[in-house]
Structure 1
């Protein structure tokens, strides 16, 4: 089913609702705690997701909903909205405006619409299948990258890789920096990095351990800007993907990236 103008408008209203819940709490006193997986959650996360769910209950009651904080609500349409109210909660807690709200629409298992919204700086990337990615209403494109050496690589944290993933990431980082890691990766940023890649400021992002709510919205944004999103085997990202994620601004570098990653 193609993405409609109504879907695009609803996705933006969802991001608006989340932002309205988040902004009053940014750099203010707020409740927070650790979840069972030891990741933090704040009252802003919960308030933002609750606001989005209320809007979906009113405007798309037949669609399913998957949210980081409140789980899954089954639907009857074959479509699911995937919500991450604050991707980068640690950055939010630290008062760093590099977190974002993620809104995705899945048709079956395929991400077909995505929003990355930074509610403090009011920066918004909107992507949808078959449409160019927009940044605050204007079309953006990834940049060309003639070779892997010299590519600007980002990841949220190297500490998030486990086991053999560590070696793969190190090989990729070394290839991009020609072995001189002083010229190496950009750290931090969570979903904000993917918006920067879509706008042509980064070349490559490598991450692991992501969940569906972490990556679903990123796919239409990056691919609508001319980039490629895939897993560490080069396969497209779907609801069944295991969370090893690559974003490649210049799709021509895909084989180089996979070769470096796997040695």
Structure 2
């Protein structure tokens, strides 16, 4: 074999070896790149990020039973999360939020109250109506005063309490009374619907105009009396994610649960009307 042939073969072998090394290097670089991409979180992995932390929900008092149930369900679906609630009259909640109280979600009992918040502190998203609610008269068990209409509450006998005019249940009661050309001076105005109902439950009042959901939640502690004028004063309930929510990701997930078929089932079973 001549020297020139040997030299050619040697060069071919060296070239093949170099090519193999380059290929191996490329594969290793690709693997490292994929590993780094996976470690830093690809769009797919970030989309399925685990929720954690506390979600603070400010909600109308009439939502207490149903939202508490949904909060428990949310925590079970997302281990590592905790839902804390502040239930009160929508107007006082709105004042707290606009005053700087930290919260993730606001669920109000009327669009007007929600607007008081969004006008001063824009929601991250547009408020969505998730349920509606209708008024009902709550009387003492057995209805001893034989209340059968809104007009019966204007008589001198029954001691009646109403929600304050500034809260949604009170505004709705005033609207229903106006629709019937009735005037009613209650024994007291209460700060929220639960406070009004409690007066009847404790027998400190004979009747109260509250929401049908509250009458249902009270069970046999009160008796409910429907009245036609309530159809003219149905309240829509909006919910929104608040600006600068401390836990926006979990808050969005909670709102999604409330508006889902599962959430709507819990709410309608509590007596709420569909949006």
Structure whose residues are more often helix by fraction: 2
Q: Which has the higher contact order (CA 8 A, sep 6+)?
A: 2
* More strand as a share of residues: 1
Mark the structure with the bigger radius of gyration: 2
TM-score normalized with structure 2 length: 0.30
